[in-house]
Amino acid sequence: MGLFRLVTGLPGPSGFGSASTAEQVTAGIDASNLTVIITGGASGIGTETARVFALRGANVIIAARNLEAADGAKQLIQRTAPASRVDILELDLSSLKSVRAFADKFLSMDLPLNILINNAGVMFCPYQLSRDGIEMQFATNHLGHFLLTNLLLEKMRSTAKKTGIEGRIINLSSIAHKHTYKGGIWFDRLNDKDVYSDKKAYGQSKLANILHANELSRRLQEDGANVTVNSVHPGLIMTNLMRHSFLLMRVLKVFSYVFWKNVPQGAATTCYVALHPSLKGVTGKYFFDCNEEMPSSWARDEKLAKKLWDFSEKLVKSAW
C-alpha cells in the first residue's frame, strides 16, 4: 500500500481506496438471498456494516453483548432501510459459555448462514482475565471468534452446498498485528501479568485473527468446501473500541489526521470483502483499504498458524 494512495484516497487495483465508503463498494449488489451474522454490530463500524448489509437486502443477525445498544442500532438501521430484516442475539465473546449459547440459539432458528463477520473486539485493556481464565484481549478478539466460527462452520458449509452460493468468513484484524510480542504469540506467557503490555497483547490478538483465517482457509480448501476466509484491517477510526486509550488516541489523531477514516469508510473493506463479486474464490488473504496487502512475516507463518490452531483447541477444551 503506497503512502500517497492512503493519504489521497486514490483507488487501488480493486477500483476502491481509503476514501471509499461501505455503500460505495456495495453499490448495485443484491444481498436479499443472504443471511449474515455480524459480531459487535451494536456500535461503530459493526453497526455501519449491519446497516449497509440491510440496505442491500440481507437478513442481518446482530450478535452483541449490550442488548440495549443493539436495539438502538436496529432502530437506526430500520429508519434508513425500513424493509430490512434485523435480529438481535446476545453474545459475550469473552465467555465461551456465552459463545456456545449463541450458537445453539442461532442454529435453533433454522436459518441459512452465508456470511460470518467476526468484527467485535476490545482494545488496549488493562490486564484482566476472562471468565474462563484467559487474558481478556486474546479471549475476546481471538478465542471467542475461534470457537464461534467452529460451531457455525457446518451450517455455513451446508448452506453453501445447498444454495450454490459461496460462503464467506471475514476476521477483522488490524495493522497493529505487526506490533506484538517477540516471536508473534507468547503461548507460554499468555496470562503472565508481569510481562503484560496492553498494546502488544492487542497486537498479539490481531495477529491471531489473521493466522486463524489463514489456517481455516487452508483446511476448507483441502476439504473442497465452498467457503472462503479472509482478514481485513479497517483502518484508523475513532470508535468505542478506543475507550481504554481515548485521550491518547485523540492526541495521536491531531498529529496524524490524514490517516484517519470516518465510520462509513472504516466499514468499507469489510463490506467489500464480504460482498463484492470480484472476490469469488479468493481466500486466505489480508485486505487493507479494499485492496489485498501483504501482512507481516509472522502472519504468513504456516507453522505458527497451525500451532495457534492446536493451542486454541486445547484452551477451548480446558474451559469446557
d(Cα 94, Cα 148) in Å, to the nearest integer? 11
Q: Are strands 291-293 and 236-237 parallel, antiparallel or unpaired?
A: unpaired
Amino acid at 262: N
d(Cα 23, Cα 265) in Å, to the nearest integer? 9
- Catalytic residue (choose from 181, 196, 202, 286): 196
146, 219 contact by CB (below 8 A): no
For residue 256, the SS3 value is: coil
166, 281 contact by CB (below 8 A): yes
- Is 257 an annotated catalytic residue? no
Q: How far separated are the first and last CA of the chain, in Å rounded?
A: 42
Cell of 176: 497493529
Residue 133 DSSP code: S
d(Cα 10, Cα 65) in Å, to the nearest integer? 37
Residue 121 DSSP code: -
Selection from 169, 208, 232 nearest residue 299 by Cα: 208
Cell of 31: 444481498
d(Cα 118, Cα 141) in Å, to the nearest integer? 9
The dihedral formed by the CA atoms of 44, 173, 290 and 278, expressed in degrees to the nearest 10 = -110
Residues comprising the chain, all counted: 320
d(Cα 122, Cα 77) in Å, to the nearest integer? 23
| Catalytic residue IDs | 196
